[in-house]
Every structure is written in structure tokens, then in C-alpha cells.
Structure 1
Amino acid sequence: MEPFIYLDHAATSWPKPPEVLQAMQKAMEEAAANPGRGSHQMAVKASRVLFEGRKILSQLFQVRNQNDIIFTYNTTEALNLAIKGLLKSGDRVVATMVEHNSVRRPLEYLKRVMGIHVEYIPVNGQGQLDMAKLKAALESRPKLVISTHSSNLLGSILPVAEIGELARRFGAVYLVDAAQSAGCLDIDVSAMNIDLLAFPGHKGLLGPQGTGGLYISPSIDLEPLLHGGTGSQSEEKEQPAVRPDRYEAGTPNTAGIAGLRAGVAEVMRQTPQQIYRHEWELAQRIIEGIRGIRHLRILGPEAGQPRTGIVSFVSSEKDSSEIAFRLDREYGIAVRAGMHCTPLAHEAVETLQTGAVRISVGVTTTRREAHAVIDAVKDICGQRP
């Protein structure tokens, strides 16, 4: 592969730490059997991989019982498990205008087939939630409140602890989508009153694709999304009640979970605070570098305000897809353009018709790479001297 600059970390982080690749190879060589399905040495080693993965994730998210961490193949599966496993016919849900389609589409599906009621709380032009409208919506006593932790389009950070406190006060279950925050923002499920936490392994946790998970509060029992073999209580016709088996039917991605554990270990070594500071500084550098370009509008929080490492923009003179295409083909810079699977957020910031170019930095992004994308955007938009 020709050398290039990767600035699509909001989709999947890359490159992975060497330890991730080494852990996956070791698991394939030494722990490639089915965990929980046998007592031979390799099966026991595979079970140990899952045990260690749950253990380190429970430390990262301040989870008391590691068996409340359920492995999934991505955040989308985790969100579907949480939403479809909790809601019943006629239930009320409050979500936000910056939710990903992995939240919106399951909700709209259940709205159509089960008659649930959904209200989306608006955000302002910087992606900040209207807390007054949230409080008013909670007066209807919804069963579930859902919010992303950080918008995958705008980079804005929602006040999860405050939302969690309000949800608890009104007797609602609180589900957080940590797709853009796990690994770069501190998450404490108890302190933040989070009942359900969906997270990816392949983004800020630096693990491979095909990994993710869901924290389920011990006070909540979800209906399983999948039914099948678990290696436990095989004589019973019903899915086991014990966690994590209840929610993990079928053979897991053991090698992927080994890689995820190594990725989380690297996150904890660097600390989410240090990673956030690194990504924030690079995002600010990019904002400062491109905000003077004529006909270009940067989305999300103003310069200097809190945000994750996402800088999205639109140009009134250049098509977003064209900009992204040229960045890739002419400058060797990988970004993403389009709707980013979050049409409600585009509606909120009036970019539903245009989409946006999204630059997203990561833990491996350098200042040189940030300056390279600034110069390239200036070139493409005709702003170079």
C-alpha cells in the first residue's frame, strides 16, 4: 500500500497498536477452540481470553461485575440488543437529534411494528442538547432515554452525567451510545447513572473490526437478540438466565476479543484524558487552519470548546464528495464524506441536502498530518496564495 494519511478514525481507528496484531495471532495459534464448549486445554485458554477481555473493559468503564459486559460484533448490535431487548408495545422513548442510524432505525422499526412512541430532542447549531426540552419530555415518564456521548458528525459532547441524573429522577432507563467516546472520554457507569452502555472495539479502543459490547446494569433483564448454543445449560430449551451466556449465543470472535483487550490496555496505558487532549489539540489546529477559507462552514462547537477529534465542514462552492475524492486521489488523505448515518444531525445543522466532509483524528495522528490536510483543503477550495 502506498503511504497515505488516514483521517477517518471516527469510522475505524488505524493503524492498530502492534500489540493488537500480536495478541490476535497468539489467540489464533494457542486459543483457537470454542470457549465454554469444552474442558480441553485450548478451550480453557479461549475462555481465558474472554475473561481477560471482560475484566479490562470493566476496569475501563468502572463496572463492578465483569459478567455485566456482553460481547457483540459492533456498536450496532449492542444498540439493537439494548433497544429491542427492553422495549415493549406502547413504550415511550426519548432520544436526541444527533443519534446515529443505529439508534434511529431500530426505534423507527419498533415504532412501526410495536407502536412505541419516540421523541427526538433538538440540538443547537453547535450540537448542544436543549436541556429544557429534555426535561419537559421526561415529564411523560418514558421507559427509555437514549443519547450519544459524542456526535459522530459534529464532535459535540453531550452532558451524559446530567442526562443520566435526570433519567434516574424520572424513572427511565438510560442508554448511552459510546461509539465516539469510548477510549477518549472518561466513562463511569455508576457515577453517570448509565444503565446500558453500547461501545465499539474498533474505534477509540484500538481493537479490530468485529468487536464491541454492551454493559447491562444488573437491575435490567433484556430479552436476548439471539438464541442458540452457549455451552451452558444445554439440556434446557430456553436461553440460560445467567450472564453473559444469556446474551452471547454462538461462537464468539475470540481472536478479535484478544486484540480488543490489547487495544484497551494501550488506551489505559496512555489514559483517555491524554488521548482526548491529543485529539482535541489536533482538531483545534485543523479548525484554525481551515476556518478562514471562503464559502466553507465548519460544523459543531466553536473553536476552543470541548469536542472529540471530529472536524466536519461543508463548502457552498464544492461538493462534499468531490472534496473527499480529491483528498484521497490527489493528496493521499483518507477522510469521509456524505451523511455519516446521522440524518437527524444534518437536519439540525441544515446540511441534509449537502452532506459534509468529515476529518477525524486519532491517537496516532501527527501535527504534520493535520497541517497536510489543512494545506490540501486550501488547495482544493482555491485558497492557497
Structure 2
Amino acid sequence: MEHPKDLIYFDNAATSWPKPEHVYSFMMEFYRATGVNPGRSGFDLAIEAGSLLDRLRLRLTRFFGGDEDTPERLCFGYNATDALNLIIGGLLERGDHVITTNLEHNSVIRPINHLVRDGGVEATFIPFDGAGFVDPDDIAKAIRPTTKLVVVNHGSNVIGTIQPVKEIGRICRERGVTFVIDTTQTAGIVPIDMKEMNVDALAFTGHKALMGTTGIGGLCVRKHLHLRQTRAGGTGVESIYPYHLEEYPWRMEFGTPNMLGVASLWAGQDWLDEQGVENIHAREMALAKKLVEGLRRIEGVRFYCCDSLENHLSTFMINIDGLDAGDVGVLLDVDHNIATRTGLHCAPLVHTQLGTVDIHGGVRFSIGAFNTAEQVDVAIDAVEAISRWGAERRRRGAA
């Protein structure tokens, strides 16, 4: 089944689509030939499957600037939400204090809120400024003697701003506080170096700019950081041992791995190596600039934290005066065959601070590697038509 070729897809912050052709072909070839359980048996196919898994650990450790001498600390799971639950739950205990931001996704907000409500943890949420950035000094001022963790969204899935994680990491390192970043929106778009950024652990997902499938993601943990186990189950090794293994990667992996997802990430790394992360980002930002400039000329279009595209992803949010965000999304879809994301984007604190909760959030455009300038032109014309329709409807209502 082929995807609809006339669909204009601007929802890449949710899931990149389509994927590079190499990802599709490699996944199918690998899974047809080697779709067995890795590390559970000694026959050749199981060894071959396990080899890809282990080689991907090292490849992604290098990609994230982790500790290459301990690639087993690159652990796989379902997605970044799964990884963040393991990290946050594996670090915080009763009496600890955690600092995070109003830019976070619910994958950070909710685990922390549960620990505050049920686990005796205290939390501080740092607001962002009018341009959409968190001031590292605000993080520094919020650190207490009991602060155990600072966790920050590297790139916002709502307004697209890239946070100054290197500066925040330096502050955390100087103060002896663990620093974790959520790379859901940045991995595969912005170069990441855990050592240079003073990052102790990160969470990633495979189905966005890493060009993998849904259902694969994980965490990369520096060798000095201790994470407490919060789950237990099968590992395929040391089955007689009555407790979950303490050694990495099994310490943070549970049950049979998603080998189709692993294959997709391997092929995604091939494609990223070929294209160059910086080149992909530059192309996306050129299209974002064209789209933003075109939409700015339309009467009634309102932007949020988008006065500058410096330190920005190709993701931004708008509203059209007098129209509900959900209605705009439907009109873009039904009348113009353009896919966007409307609502609160699983990031309610962003919308609370922006004042967009009562108007049901906003309309998010997120450009990906396979969008084109022609598609941007269509989107500009579509928003202009919707804005004119909305203005005419308001005039008739006032008459």
C-alpha cells in the first residue's frame, strides 16, 4: 500500500514520515533473514541478530557522544517516554528535589508529578522567557542542597526552541547535580555530545528524526551514573538467577527487544551518516524560514516564540484570530490535504504559560527531511484562504 502522494505532511515532530527508502528495505531484508530472538540461543541467526543489536549500541553511543568504552550503557526500550520513566524513577527518592521546565512533555511532567504526589519528592518548574528559552541562571538559582536531578527538554515539541543545555550542564556539573536531557525532538537534527554538554543521561526515541519505526527508543547513561532498577523480568541470560541482573544493558532492558525497530535505527544511522545531520537541519530550517515569512504576511496569523529562528527547530505554532485551532487543523486537512498537529501537544505547561489553554492550544507545523518548497507554498496559500474565510465569517456575524 503506497502512501497518498498528494498529502502534505507537516507533522514530523510527532513522527517523521515518510522514512528514507533504505530504512524500509533494510528492515524488511533484515527481518525476513534474521528475525529471531537475539542472545537467547546459540545458533547462527540468533548470534547474527545479537551482533546487530550490540553494534547499534556502540554506534548510537558514538552518535550521542557517550562513553565508548561502555556501549552496554546504551539501552533500548519502547520510546523516550519509557526511557524517561526509567531514568526519573531510577534516580529520585523520598526527600529529593528535582528541577525541570515549563517546556517539558508529559513524559517528564507526569512521572515527576506522580513522585511528588506519591513518593515524597519536591519539584520546581522553571518558566521560559518571551523568546521561548530557559535561562541557565534560573536553573542555578533553583538548586537546593536536596536537588538530585535537573531534567530539560533539549528542543520544544511545541515552539521549537533549542535550549542552552551546554550551559545548564556546566552549572549542574559544578554543583554536583545529575543532568538529564530529553532528545526526542533533537536527536538526528542537532549534533549531541554528552561529554561536551555535561549530560549524565539522555532519553531518545527512534521514530522521529532518527528515521526509525515507532516502538523503539532508549536511554544512554554515562558510566559514572547509578540508576536504580525499577522493573524486572526476562533477559535471556542467567535465567537461574532469581533477581533481575544488575549489569548493563540488562539492568535497564526487560524482555525481548524490538529487533525490527533496531534494524530501522541501524538503517536510519546509515542515512544520517550519508546526508549529514547539519545538512538535514539546514534544509529544514530554510523551508521553515520560507513558511514563517509567508505566514507572517497573512492578516490574523499569530506566532508564539518565533521572532527569530536562531537556535530553533523547524517546528513552530500559530493560531488564526477568531478560529479554534482544531477547526483550522480540520480545514487544512479536509480542504487542502495538509497534515498538522493541533491541541496542547502533550505539553500543557507550555500552553499554560503562553495562555493558549482556553483557546484549545494551537496549530503546529513541523517540517521534515522530505518536505519541499512547493509544499510550503501550498501551505501558505491554504492558511491565507482559511484566514480570509474566518475574517469573512466574523464580518457576517458582526453585521
TM-score bracket relative to the smaller structure: over 0.9
1:37 equivalent among 35, 40, 50? 40
Shift of residue 288, structure 1, vs aligned partner? 0.4
Distance verdict in 2 for CA 1:338–1:73, change over 3 Å: same
Q: Name the residue aligned to 1:363.
A: 369
- 1:249 lines up with 2:280 in the alignment: no
1:17 equivalent among 6, 20, 24? 20
1:113 equivalent among 118, 138, 147? 118
Shift of residue 233, structure 1, vs aligned partner? 1.7
1:212 equivalent among 203, 214, 217? 217
The 8 Å contact of residues 136 and 167 in structure 2, kept in 1 or not, is answered as no
1:185 equivalent among 187, 190, 201? 190
Shift of residue 138, structure 1, vs aligned partner? 1.7
Separation (CA, whole Å) in 2 of partners of 1:351 and 1:265: 40
Separation (CA, whole Å) in 1 of partners of 2:348 and 2:383: 24
Q: Name the residue aligned to 2:60.
A: 57
- 1:382 lines up with 2:385 in the alignment: no
Separation (CA, whole Å) in 2 of partners of 1:10 and 1:116: 31
Q: Name the residue aligned to 2:397.
A: none
Shift of residue 100, structure 1, vs aligned partner? 0.4
Separation (CA, whole Å) in 1 of partners of 2:141 and 2:374: 47
Q: What's the CA shift string for 1:33-80, capped at 9, x where partnerless?
A: 111100011111110121122122122112223211110111100100
Counterpart residue type for residue 218 of structure 1: K
TM-score (norm 2): 0.93
The 8 Å contact of residues 30 and 45 in structure 1, kept in 2 or not, is answered as no
Instruction: Count matched residues.
Output: 384
Distance verdict in 2 for CA 1:176–1:204, change over 3 Å: same
The 8 Å contact of residues 38 and 44 in structure 1, kept in 2 or not, is answered as yes
The 8 Å contact of residues 95 and 146 in structure 2, kept in 1 or not, is answered as no
Q: What's the CA shift string for 1:120-146, capped at 9, x where partnerless?
A: 011112211133321110244510001
Shift of residue 259, structure 1, vs aligned partner? 0.9
Q: Name the residue aligned to 2:272.
A: 267
1:131 equivalent among 122, 127, 136? 136
The 8 Å contact of residues 97 and 144 in structure 2, kept in 1 or not, is answered as no
Q: What's the CA shift string for 1:206-260, capped at 9, x where partnerless?
A: 1111111100111122223431111122111111121111111101100111011
Q: Name the residue aligned to 1:258.
A: 263
The 8 Å contact of residues 288 and 303 in structure 1, kept in 2 or not, is answered as no
2:159 equivalent among 150, 154, 159? 154
Q: Name the residue aligned to 1:337.
A: 342
Q: Name the residue aligned to 1:82.
A: 87
Counterpart residue type for residue 25 of structure 2: Q
Q: What's the CA shift string for 1:261-286, capped at 9, x where partnerless?
A: 10122112212111111111111111
Q: What's the CA shift string for 1:94-138, capped at 9, x where partnerless?
A: 001100000000000011111100000111122111333211102
| SS of the residue 1:302 aligns to | coil
Distance verdict in 2 for CA 1:225–1:12, change over 3 Å: farther
Q: Name the residue aligned to 2:97.
A: 92
| SS of the residue 1:337 aligns to | strand
| SS of the residue 2:195 aligns to | coil
The 8 Å contact of residues 60 and 268 in structure 1, kept in 2 or not, is answered as no
Larger deviation: 218-227 or 315-324?
218-227
| Equivalent residues in 2 for 1:161-240, closer than 5 Å | 161-240=166-245
Unaligned runs of 5+ in 2: 392-399
Separation (CA, whole Å) in 1 of partners of 2:231 and 2:374: 46
Separation (CA, whole Å) in 1 of partners of 2:303 and 2:362: 9
Taking only the aligned residue pairs, the percentage that are identical comes to 37
Q: What's the CA shift string for 1:156-209, capped at 9, x where partnerless?
A: 110011010111111111110001100110100111011111011000101111
Distance verdict in 2 for CA 1:375–1:303, change over 3 Å: farther
Distance verdict in 2 for CA 1:304–1:74, change over 3 Å: closer
| SS of the residue 1:306 aligns to | coil
Counterpart residue type for residue 172 of structure 2: A
- 1:28 lines up with 2:69 in the alignment: no
| SS of the residue 2:255 aligns to | coil
The 8 Å contact of residues 80 and 106 in structure 1, kept in 2 or not, is answered as yes
Counterpart residue type for residue 137 of structure 1: A
Shift of residue 348, structure 1, vs aligned partner? 1.8
The 8 Å contact of residues 8 and 360 in structure 1, kept in 2 or not, is answered as yes
TM-score (norm 1): 0.97
Q: Name the residue aligned to 1:372.
A: 378
Unaligned runs of 5+ in 1: none
